[in-house]
């Protein structure tokens, strides 16, 4: 680690502790040349998730887009922001823990519907109607009937 004061490249670690709920490690270091102390933060480097869209184009996974879609489905419903954040955290954790670095919008949509179904059925149906692109009332009714039979 390069000293910010003299530029010397060797230092010793004096103290290490966890920061940001274990997401980072804060290290207190001392330069072996000038003896000045400085702090560094280590973060685990993650490989970005790539989303493969329906038209086969690719883009980097954007948590904000997922949150916006779920928010739209939950509009005017008794679903708190905390519940939405928990759903998005859960979905993102499942995606990150998968071995695939490329995921499809279908995989993301299915995970979102799974979470919404457990939290609020109306929000689930709203999300499904957009995600599955219901073409007519019959398709919509089929989804509602599935939901009703699962509930029994």
pLDDT tens over the chain, length 152 residues: 899 999 999 999 999 998 877 778 999 999 999 999 999 988 877 778 999 998 999 999 999 999 999 999 999 999 999 999 999 999 998 998 888 889 999 999 999 999 999 999 899 888 988 877 777 777 778 888 888 888 77
Give Cβ neighbours of residue 50 (< 8 Å, ≥ 6 apart). 58, 59, 60, 61, 101, 102, 103
Instruction: Determine the Cα–Cα distance for residues 141 and 133; give it in Å rounded to an integer.
Output: 13
pTM attached to this predicted model: 0.65
Give the start-to-end residue ranges of the domains of the chain.
Answer: 11-43, 50-151
């Amino acid at each position: 680690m390069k000293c910010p004061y003299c530029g010397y490249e060797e230092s010793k670690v004096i103290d290490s502790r966890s920061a940001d709920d274990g997401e980072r490690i804060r290290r207190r270091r001392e330069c072996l040349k000038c003896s000045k102390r400085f702090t560094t933060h280590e973060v685990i480097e993650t490989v970005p998730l790539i989303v493969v869209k329906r038209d086969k184009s690719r883009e980097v996974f954007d948590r904000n887009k997922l949150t916006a879609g779920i928010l739209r489905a939950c509009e005017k419903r008794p679903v708190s922001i905390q519940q939405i954040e928990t759903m998005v955290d859960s979905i993102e954790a499942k995606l990150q823990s998968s071995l695939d670095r490329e995921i499809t919008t279908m995989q993301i949509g299915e995970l979102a519907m799974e979470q919404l179904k457990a939290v609020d059925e109306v929000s689930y149906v709203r999300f499904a109607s957009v995600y599955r692109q219901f073409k007519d009332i019959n398709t919509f009714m089929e989804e509602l009937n599935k939901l009703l039979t699962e509930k029994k």
